[in-house]
Amino acid sequence: QITSLVRRAALTQNDNHFNYEKAHNFKVHTFRGPHWCEYCANFMWGLIAQGVRCSDCGLNVHKQCSKYVPNDCQPDLKRIKRVYCCDLTTLVKAHNTPRPMVVDSCIREIEARGLKSEGLYRVSGFTEHIEDVKMAFDRDGDKADISASMYPDINIIAGALKLYFRDLPIPVITYDTYSKFIEAAKISSPDERLEAIHEVLMLLPAAHYETLRYLMIHLKKVTLHEKENFMNAENLGIVFGPTLMRPPEDSTLATLNDMRYQKLIVQILIENEDVLF
């Protein structure tokens, strides 16, 4: 619990600037004209592929210098071409927000008009309308219009939120922590299992942790309207388990074997969000 409080304090301490660590995304680059390394300040020799450039922030360095550059990438919005399918930490750093604005916008809309909607998150919206919402976010960012006048069916907004999570190159529950979460879910003692899950949560990158925390607070609100929407923590676990966590190796067998544990993890996170986060 104390670790959670420390983490939460660190996240809310400086609301205007979110200092989430992010590694640079270096790609080999051919520079036109003379170029100097922005790490060691020495000249980059050669005619082609003289060094590497970070495709998120534009930092130019020698290939050998790239190993020593700290994880201080501050992505430039002009270089971020889309919202969906973009690395979560990259997106929040580019927009300087604690969470992806897609998550905030969709949850705000769903809580305003959809909490009592029967089968919320389980009932599918029209695929082409969900794609429209995705394109709107990619094109207009946080200015995307997802209001009731534009999309009266709340299932479209819920579908767009789930699609955002599914499209992430690294899931909210990262590949690095996946097996640790599955192992924690297998512990039979409820108290020990909760403790183990809490420990793994602390290993998530800050932006992933904060996004998961915010989503679980929202899903807890959804369960408070279970009489109207028929969605309890277990039902939401079935929907969000495979959406928030995927095994590192793309194996159908592993996915099938782990499905009940994925459901259980999300169910436990929803039911205990006040203790775990």
Which pLDDT tens digit goes with each residue over 70-107? 988 888 888 888 899 999 999 998 888 999 999 999 99
Q: Please give the Cα distance from 163 to 272 (Å, whole number).
A: 25
Query: Per-residue pLDDT for 203 more than 70?
Result: yes
Half-sphere exposure of 275 (CA within 13 A, CB side): 13
Q: Please give the Cα distance from 125 to 228 (Å, whole number).
A: 19
Q: Please give the Cα distance from 60 to 51 (Å, whole number).
A: 7
Query: What's the confidence (pLDDT) of residue 219?
Result: 98
∠ CA 186-244-187 to the nearest 5 degrees?
A: 10
Query: What's the confidence (pLDDT) of residue 6?
Result: 60
Give the sheet arrangement for strand 51-54, strand by strand: 26-29, 51-54, 60-61
* Residues in CB range of 81: below 8 A, 6 or more apart: none
Query: What's the confidence (pLDDT) of residue 252?
Result: 73
Residues 163-178 have pLDDT tens digits of 999 999 999 999 999 9
Q: Please give the Cα distance from 190 to 125 (Å, whole number).
A: 36
Q: Please give the Cα distance from 206 to 105 (Å, whole number).
A: 20
Query: What's the confidence (pLDDT) of residue 16?
Result: 42
Domains and CATH numbers, the chain: 101-275 (1.10.555.10)
pLDDT: is 16 or 1 the higher one? 1
pLDDT: is 175 or 254 the higher one? 175
Pairing of strands 60-61, 26-29: unpaired
Could you say which DSSP state residue 36 is in?
B
Query: Per-residue pLDDT for 134 more than 50?
Result: yes
Q: Please give the Cα distance from 189 to 187 (Å, whole number).
A: 6
Q: Please give the Cα distance from 181 to 84 (Å, whole number).
A: 25
- CA 210, distance to chain mean position in Å, is 9
C-alpha torsion 115→110→213→250, nearest 10: 110
Pairing of strands 26-29, 51-54: antiparallel
With a pLDDT cut of 90, the percent of the chain lying above it is 73
